[in-house]
Amino acid sequence: MKALEYTDYGKAPVVAERPVPEAKTGGVLVKIAGAALNPLDTKIRAGYMTDFFPVAFPYVPGTDISGTIEAIGDGVSGWKPGDEIVARLDPSQGGAFAQYAVVSADQLVRAPTSMPLAESAGLVTVGGTAWQILFEEFAVASGQRVLVHGAAGPVGAFAAQLAAQAGAEVFATASAADADYVRGLGAATVIDYRCARFEDHLFDMDLVIDTVGGDVEERSLKVLKQGGTLIATPMPPNEERARQAGVEAKFVFHASDAAKLGHVAERADHGIKVRVDRIIGLEEGADAFARQAGGEAKGKIIFEPQR
């Protein structure tokens, strides 16, 4: 099979030939239809995540896949060849950017039927992160006021959609070019961060989701109501500063969980959508990594390994 791999941190990924793996006990062999590129993949390649996700070389990157079960290993029940699935692989093991992968059966989730199978790979990490923020670290409810920073980005876009589906009043920051897109996600108010300061216009937020970082964290404390919550994804927020402001601050780093992904896939069948930047073959891997690392991608870059 074809796979995208690199041989050391910082090296450009190249297409290589590898043997097709065999389904092991407790796992299934998946023919991969789509594999989504994440910021985490570029950070692992750059060597920034060695303390958390050490890898062995040559390494096939990628965690987020969609595809069709090709073969079943011993001890697996409830699944059969031909079933369409989405799943997240262990980042240290990688393996998504290839034509086939072996997946533990307890990580399998039935793919949503409302979108092309390849595109559903774009739900996995970003959708799971947004779910974790809104329903595990917080309990979003109808009528609450939720501000999403970076609402045009992958995690922000899912958070805006999920919050709107839950009945929250969604506010967002984004560029003017993305304003219509973000309104289409369910945001009632979109503030252009390039020409307006959100803290001059917003107040009494129950929840602020910060996917941007920098001074956005400190400025966000001013728009939260007393007892409100700030949840950040770029880096851990200053909890002491939050306490002094009378609010709670949390950090979220995505944790793989099939049950959580199952909720996201179900929401996809009720209108949650993936913004796709481009769908490409494995041979475009080096360019895709550069585009993702440079912040140029508008939505998810998705590989179709069978091309």
Domain limits of the chain? Answer: 2-115+274-303, 126-251
d(CA 283, CA 305): 9
CATH topology of domain 2-115+274-303: Quinone Oxidoreductase; Chain A, domain 1 (3.90.180)
Residue 72 is encoded by which pair of tokens? 């079943």
Q: For residue 256, what pLDDT is reported?
A: 85
Q: For residue 213, what pLDDT is reported?
A: 93
d(CA 301, CA 299): 7
Contact (Cβ atoms closer than 8 angstroms) between residue 292 and residue 277: no
- pLDDT by residue, tens only, the chain of 307 residues: 999 999 999 999 999 999 999 999 999 999 999 999 999 999 999 999 999 999 999 999 999 999 999 999 999 999 999 999 999 999 999 999 999 999 999 999 999 999 999 999 999 999 999 999 999 999 999 999 999 999 999 999 999 999 999 999 999 999 999 999 999 999 999 999 999 999 999 999 999 999 999 999 999 999 999 999 999 999 999 999 999 999 999 999 998 889 999 999 999 999 999 999 999 999 999 999 999 999 999 999 999 999 9
Q: For residue 70, what pLDDT is reported?
A: 98
Q: Which residues, including other chains, have CB under 8 Å from residue 187's CB and lie 6 or more apart?
A: 148, 151, 160, 164, 170, 171, 172
Q: DSSP letter string over 4-39?
A: EEBSSTTPPPEEEE-PPP-PPTTEEEEEEEEEEE-H
SS3 192: strand
d(CA 39, CA 199): 28
Name residue 72's beta-bridge partners.
Answer: 28
Q: Considering the domain 126-251 in this protein, what is its CATH number?
A: 3.40.50.720
